[in-house]
Amino acid sequence: MYNYRHETVVEADAETTFAWFEHEGSFRRLMPPWEVAEEVRADDSLEVGSKRIFKFPMGPLKMTWVAEHTGYDPPRFFSDRMLKGPFKSWNHEHHLVEEGDVTKVIDEVTYQVPFGRLGNLVDRILGGLLVRKRISQMFTARELRLKRDLFHHSKFADKPRRRILVAGSSGTIGTQLVAFLDTGGHEVWRLVRREIKEGSKELNWDPISGKLDHGILEGFDTIIHLGGEGIGDKRWSSRRKKAIRDSRVDSTLILSNAIREMKSKPEVFIVASAIGWYGDRGDEELDENSPPGDGFLPDICREWEDAASKVEESGVRTVFLRSGIVLTATGGALEKMLLPFKLGGGGPMGGGKQWMSWISLDDEIYAIHHLIMNSGSTGKYNLTAPEPVRQKLFARVLGRVLRRPAIAPIPGLAIRVMFGEMGVSLTLESQRVLPNRLVDEGYEFLHSDLEHALRDTLGMWND
């Protein structure tokens, strides 16, 4: 039997902190950002008997973790135990102790490794380091997310909670955004294409066939559209290009037309866009006033934003999110880089002089929250960190974080042959994008330094 204890000090009272934990979204927010986890069930309660179930990869297999809450004394205490999972046993107690203006969250875990005596013997031989290191990484990530989420919610604590509808909620950004907004006490609904889950806060639409009951949008003061086919998932055939374009432009038009016809319109409509708007621009510094570039992605972004501008013309505050490369270990560009870099095959691409404009996943979420809650925010915003880097520096920093060499060059011709136009656009084109409007509005980036962002994302902090 092993014991683990972790203390987190947050600048909030016990009641506010306990309320954060009680929301369903806290389960997703507390998941380490490098874990690819599938949430199966998360009861919106910490009361005795409620359960939380998720699946996560363990080698080639998927492991199921079933946790049941066993103790509940708000706002001071709650506990849970593992009914099924990778440990022989796991009991977790959460104690909240208010001390003046802060609250100390004390996590106490008692666990047994699997495989009985053999498991204990192996763990003792290794000094308990493997399991304990992973547990320590997990709780460090939990501490950072809890403290940061409570801080960002506190910025707008004096404003009314919102009723929010999110399209594209199942993607990497949408999943975390919904969870974060939920922990802030907002009423968050999902607009989904699949069959609605019974008892869930979900509404249905079919953007491919153009079906949307306009009446279901009534009563929401915030509508967010993040949907669209992944631009880096497959080579760009003519059919794939059409799917990428239609999934963004046509779906945005459907929502825009519906909002324009609403009797009681939302206060704000937020629609995803991308820094693809700017095209390949070399060393030119680009801000929100820079003109669009030329090519497939700039053309799509123009149509995309034009489709949402109809809402802006109707008097609804409209925000366009021109997002850069969102750093997350569970999706997007960084996920695709990790395996070759871990194998020592990372390095400069096509010379590595092209600029990469990136943003951490948490900054993406917190910036969107800022734009939702700040009634003066309207128009185009670059969601990128203030310090873009050249690709060869990105490779060097990622290699340093992973403790791997990053000197294997990949010629531009090889990228063109392997990935075609898609590879050229996403890896070789240069965009030096600056988030001037966010900075001018006082948004403070959590991650302006690339190494700090990568270490947080991968759980690879310096010892």
Closest CA relative to residue 378, chosen from 448, 275, 309: 309
CA dist 257 and 205 (Å) reads 14
For residue 118, what pLDDT is reported? 53
Helices (H), 60-190: 116-125, 129-154, 172-183
CA dist 13 and 20 (Å) reads 11
Cβ atoms of 63 and 3 closer than 8 Å: no
Q: Which two structure tokens, joined as six digits, stand for 164?
A: 């929010």
Report whether the peptide linkage leading into residue 75 is cis, meaning its omega lies within 30 degrees of zero.
Answer: yes
For residue 127, what pLDDT is reported? 46
Taken in order of first residue, the domains within the chain and their CATH numbers are 2-154 (3.30.530.20), 163-458 (3.40.50.720)
Cβ atoms of 401 and 447 closer than 8 Å: no
What single-letter DSSP state applies at residue 7?
E
For residue 418, what pLDDT is reported? 86
For residue 419, what pLDDT is reported? 87
Q: 3-class SS at 80?
A: strand
CA dist 176 and 270 (Å) reads 16
Q: Which two structure tokens, joined as six digits, stand for 331?
A: 């999706």
Q: Which two structure tokens, joined as six digits, stand for 416?
A: 């063109």
Closest CA relative to residue 296, chosen from 247, 244, 340: 244
For residue 435, what pLDDT is reported? 98
- pLDDT tens digit sequence for 152-187: 999 999 999 999 999 999 999 999 999 999 999 999
For residue 462, what pLDDT is reported? 83
Residues 6+ apart with CB under 8 A from 336: 232
> Does the reported pTM lie above 0.85?
yes
Kind plus residue range of the DSSP H or E element containing 306: helix 296-313
CA dist 164 and 112 (Å) reads 42
CA dist 226 and 259 (Å) reads 16
Closest CA relative to residue 234, chosen from 336, 325, 329, 322: 336
Place of tokens 């390949």: 280
For residue 198, what pLDDT is reported? 83
For residue 463, what pLDDT is reported? 65
Residue 258 identity: A
pLDDT beneath 70, residues of the chain: 115-129, 463
For residue 326, what pLDDT is reported? 97
